[in-house]
Amino acid sequence: MDFLNYTICLIFIALSTAGSVIFNVQGNTIEYQGCFFINSILCCSIKKRHSTIHAINRLYEERNLDMKLIEIGIIHSLYKEAKDAPRQGRLSDKVSEIQIHKEYTSAMAGVEDLSHIIVLYWADRADRSMKETSRRRPTVTGIFATRSPARPNPIAFCVCKILEVNENMIRVTGLDALDGSPLLDIKVYSAGIDCYPEAGKK
Domain edges within the chain: 1-66, 73-194
pTM for the whole thing? Answer: 0.66
pLDDT band at 99 (very low <50, low <70, confident <90, very high): very high
Whether 89 and 113 have beta carbons less than 8 Å apart is answered as: no
The beta strands (E) that lie in 19-122 are given as 24-26, 29-31, 73-76, 95-100, 116-122
Q: Which amino acid is at 149?
A: P
3-state secondary structure of 114: coil
Q: What is the pLDDT of residue 40?
A: 43
State the average pLDDT over residues 25-50.
Answer: 42
Mean pLDDT, the chain, rounded, equals 78
Where b means 16+ CB within 10 Å and e means fewer, 113-128 reads: ebebbebebbbeebee
The third-level CATH classification (topology) of the domain covering 73-194 is Elongation Factor Tu (Ef-tu); domain 3 (2.40.30)
The rounded distance, in Å, linking the Cα atoms of 104 and 177 is 20
* Chain segment 72-96, per-residue pLDDT in tens: 999 999 999 988 998 888 889 999 9
